Amino acid sequence: MSVLEQIIAGVREDLEMRRIPKGKLLEQVAQAAPPLSASEYLRGAEISVIAEVKRSSPSKGALAQISDPAALAKMYEDNGASVVSVLTEARRFGGSLEDLDAVRKSVSIPVLRKDFMVDEYQFFEARAHGADLVLLIVAALSQIQLGEFLALTHELGMQALVEVHTESELEQALEVSAQIVGVNSRNLKTLDVDRNVFAQLLPKIPAHSVKVAESGISSRADVEYARSYGADAVLVGEALVRGSDPGATLRALIGRE
């Protein structure tokens, strides 16, 4: 199996371990605060940042301990992040729904539940835990699933960051009228980063969609490169959590230092 297929297999196994009755989950959804519009926040600056709470990754291994995800998320908000992304996949990224709960309570900006969404249960779960935004990876879904999951996301009041890696995946995203499109420069098969993917795909996304550059963003120059091809926002994790001062790193990326 590819790395993506291995991760998804683990996600499905873990989901079955924590699944609760649908009625109880719907009660939790009803009690959650109304979702925020991530697209509005991502268009609110010259270049916006989705700052990530990320402990590890398949490509780099352990990145940071992050004993207090709520404090880190609040630091992100205080230093200019427009959205906070929270990894909730446990096996490869060291995340959890508890991290999502903690972050949601600590910030007033939109929160992205970043996970591998492959079952409709996860969307109700995301909303129940306060997510405003979820990740849909085109490479992990059939076109029918992509359309159905995006519709479910909207029914629950959330938005989706629809992630693409190739021109054909971008066509699939545009076919379902994705409002927020993420171009990931990391090849999911090799895990290598090629930022030329930004140059190839970002200009092909319509202006009415929010354009997000993902992976390989570690400096202000990287941000400016992505912006030069039309990015409205960048998603940054590793560069923030590995540094000694995430707040200063974030300000530098935005151009405030």
Which positions are catalytic? 52, 54, 114, 163, 184, 214-215
- Chain CA centroid to CA 89, Å: 12
For every residue of 220-238, DSSP letters joined together read: HHHHHHHHHTT-SEEEE-H
Sign of CA dihedral 136, 188, 166, 229: positive
Distance in angstroms (rounded) separating the CA atoms of residues 253 and 193: 19
| Token pair listed for 96 | 């959890």
Any bridge partners for residue 183, and if so which?
A: 164, 213
CB count within 10 Å of CB 20 equals 12
CB contact at 8 A, 67 and 100: no
CB atoms within 10 A of CB 192: 11
C-alpha count within 13 angstroms, C-beta hemisphere, residue 131: 32
